[in-house]
Each structure stands twice: as structure tokens, then as C-alpha cells.
């Protein structure tokens, strides 16, 4: 068990899939959050090991050993962050007791439309009843629903970087119908910790490549959220790229705006939407991944290209924090009735 944080109202939390990058980020962030006691950590092949054998840098924390999920006593658990791989969570999370608040980082519950999920992931949905109560966890957009939720599905990292700037503009009828182009670049940690040949240092270093052209699974996720508040007349073109960096996402978004609007309207819309937000900032300079590394912050800036008459938005996040574990804790804080920003306020790591 993690060390007692002396908070009478603290919640006991278990992290499922704690041996991956998002799992260890959840542990690191929860160390600064006095609302939670980590009482359970699970892994699969690493079950039975100390978490310190997997991540020696956590040696300053008193943490429970890794277990298999079936060995966790869920009667003592108040909240779960699930960092399990896609395709493995539906049955597992369906069996968790209903008193537990759940934030899931996989893609298994991100689609309200079960048939869309089955088409995109080529897999039968195994938790149809549970899907009915799931809230999509884009915090700054769905905050009210998240507060009252028992189960939140965390957005993907790419969709988080794209949807935060796009949705307010659609909601205010600023963007023209037609194509929305999202050109995104991510560090290699976005692919997880599993050994893959194409992610070896010798393969990635000094290289820059696109992947998943026209069929990346985050494209329909972005589209489905736009369809909810806008119109099916918006069509998302999404291309992801792999950068030879460890963490960070930079999305470049190309938009056409309606005739009665201009750049000032775009800027004012984004500033008005996020002016009171702790974790989404409109930047006066072009943001880079360095500006948000190690934080739960999304930074964005819009510019106008007079030659093509397009708005270009740069949006940056840390894929492991605002794109994953940080946003999960932000959501869980809301779900548990804690201060939303608890444990998430820090400065970017630079250089």
C-alpha cells in the first residue's frame, strides 16, 4: 500500500496495467495528489514483481507489488484507472463492482455507437450495457457530465489535441462545412512500452515518418465527437506522424471559416472558451512540445493564411499526461468530488 497521506476523505485507488507508460505516469502524478491512496497495481506478465523492479525511479514511494487483476480485493477500492491495452478492458471493467468510479484509458468505450466501434476495431463489443453509461472524458468540453459519471472513457491523445481547438469553433458556427485537416506528430511513447522493431532507437532516430494514412483509428474518434455537436457535413482528414522524441504531440489543423468571420473571431472564441481553464491555454507565440512537456496542459495558437484563406491552428500536449494519465486524474478528481486540478499543477520540463 502507498504511504498514508493523512486525508480523512481520501479514496483508495487501483491502477490496472500499471507497468506501461500511462500506468507509471498515473503513479507519478498520484504521488502529488493527497486525495488518493494507491492500494492496488496490476500487470500481466510482471505480476508478482515489485513495481520498483520495473521502474526503479519509483524507489522513494511505498507502493504495493504488482498483481493479476483477479487478485485485487475490489471491495476495498473506491476508484480505478485502467491503463489496459485496447481490446482487453470491456469484460474486465464490466465485472468491477458498481460502487467503483472508473476512468478507462483504452479505446474500448470511446464510441457511443457500438457498431462504429466494431467496425473501426474489427472486434465484437463485449459490454453493451455498460457502454450506455459511459461519458467521453474530454474534460473541458464534458465537465458537467463527468462530475456525475461513474464511468469515463478517456479520449485518445491525438483526438485530445485536435478536439480542444476544433469543437468550440464548430459550436459557434465559425468553421465551414467540408474538410477539416488534422496533421499530427507524436513522440514514440504514444505507441506504448511493448517491444516493437519499428520503435527501436536505430529505426526511429534521425527519422520522421507518417503512418496509418486514411485508416488510423483516431480519425473516426475525432469525427464522432464532431458529429455530436456539429454536422456530418464536416469531414476529418487525419494523418499521424512519428517523431524521434520520447513524448509530446503537435497537431497542425487547417480550417476554412465562414465568410462573416475572421482570425479575430477564431482567437476570441478560443480565448473565451478557455480563459478560466487551468489546463488549456491560448498562446501568444507558436507553442512547441517543450512548452507542455511533463504537464497536463494543452496550448494552442491560430494564424491566418491570406493566400489560401485558411485558418491554421497549432495545438500541443504531452501525450502521456493531457493525452492520457493526467486527463484521467483530472476526470477522476471531478468524479470523486475533489478539486479538479489537485495533483496536476506543475511547470513544463525545460530543456
Residue that is written with C-alpha cell 472513457 in the block:
153
For residue 182, the tally of other CB atoms under 10 A from its CB is 26
Compute the distance between CA of residue 35 and CA of residue 334 in angstroms, rounded to an integer. Answer: 12
Q: Are 329 and 343 in contact (CB under 8 A)?
A: yes
* Residues 117, 139: Cα–Cα separation, whole Å: 22
Measured between alpha carbons, how far is residue 302 from residues 241, 286, 338 in Å? 21, 9, 33
Axis-axis angle for helices 263-274, 157-171 (nearest 10): 110
In 3D, which of 250, 249, 266, 251 has the Cα closest to residue 310?
266
Burial class (CB in 10 A: 0-12, 13-18, 19+), 140: buried
Catalytic residue IDs: 157
* C-alpha separations of 155 from 49, 90, 91, 94, 221 in Å: 30, 16, 20, 19, 8
DSSP helix, strand, coil percent of the chain (3-state; round to 5): 35, 20, 45
Measured in degrees and rounded to the nearest 5, phi and psi for residue 125 equal: -75, 125
Q: Which has the closest alpha carbon to 223: 133, 320, 111?
A: 111
Instruction: Locate 228 and state its grid cell.
Output: 455530436
Rounded CA-CA distance 79/39 in Å is 10
The pairing of strands 66-67 and 135-136 is: unpaired
Amino acid at each position: 500500500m502507498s504511504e498514508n497521506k493523512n486525508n480523512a476523505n481520501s479514496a483508495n485507488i487501483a491502477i490496472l496495467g500499471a507497468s506501461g507508460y500511462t500506468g507509471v505516469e498515473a503513479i507519478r502524478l498520484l504521488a502529488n495528489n493527497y486525495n488518493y491512496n494507491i492500494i492496488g497495481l496490476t500487470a500481466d506478465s510482471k505480476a508478482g514483481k515489485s513495481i520498483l523492479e520495473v521502474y526503479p525511479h519509483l524507489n522513494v514511494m511505498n507502493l504495493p507489488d504488482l498483481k493479476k487483476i483477479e487478485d485485487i480485493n475490489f471491495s476495498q477500492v473506491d476508484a480505478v484507472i485502467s491503463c489496459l491495452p485496447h481490446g482487453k478492458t470491456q469484460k474486465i471493467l464490466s465485472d468491477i463492482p458498481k460502487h467503483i468510479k472508473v476512468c478507462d484509458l483504452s479505446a474500448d468505450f470511446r464510441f457511443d455507437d457500438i457498431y462504429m466501434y466494431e467496425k473501426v476495431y474489427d472486434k465484437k463489443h463485449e459490454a453493451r450495457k455498460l457502454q450506455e453509461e459511459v461519458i467521453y472524458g474530454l474534460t473541458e468540453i464534458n465537465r458537467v457530465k463527468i462530475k456525475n459519471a461513474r464511468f469515463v472513457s478517456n479520449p485518445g491523445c491525438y483526438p485530445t489535441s485536435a478536439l480542444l481547438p476544433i469543437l468550440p469553433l464548430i459550436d459557434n458556427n465559425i468553421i465551414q462545412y467540408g474538410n477539416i485537416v488534422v496533421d499530427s506528430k507524436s513522440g514514440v511513447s504514444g505507441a506504448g512500452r511493448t517491444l516493437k522493431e519499428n520503435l527501436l532507437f536505430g529505426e526511429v532516430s534521425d527519422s520522421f515518418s507518417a503512418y496509418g494514412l486514411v485508416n488510423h483509428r483516431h480519425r473516426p474518434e475525432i469525427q464522432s465527437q464532431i458529429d455530436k455537436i456539429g454536422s456530418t457535413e464536416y469531414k476529418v482528414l487525419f494523418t499521424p506522424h512519428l517523431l524521434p522524441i520520447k513524448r509530446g504531440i503537435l497537431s497542425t489543423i487547417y480550417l476554412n471559416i465562414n465568410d462573416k468571420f475572421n482570425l479575430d473571431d477564431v482567437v476570441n472564441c478560443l480565448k473565451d472558451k478557455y480563459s478560466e481553464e487551468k489546463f488549456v491555454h491560448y498562446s501568444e507565440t507558436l507553442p512547441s512540445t517543450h512548452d507542455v512537456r511533463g504537464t497536463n496542459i494543452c496550448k494552442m495558437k491560430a494564424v491566418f493564411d491570406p493566400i489560401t484563406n485558411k485558418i491554421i491552428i497549432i495545438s500541443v500536449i504531452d501525450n502521456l499526461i493531457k493525452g492520457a494519465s493526467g486527463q484521467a486524474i483530472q476526470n477522476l478528481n471531478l468524479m470523486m468530488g475533489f478539486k479538479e486540478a489537485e495533483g496536476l499543477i506543475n511547470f513544463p520540463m525545460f530543456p
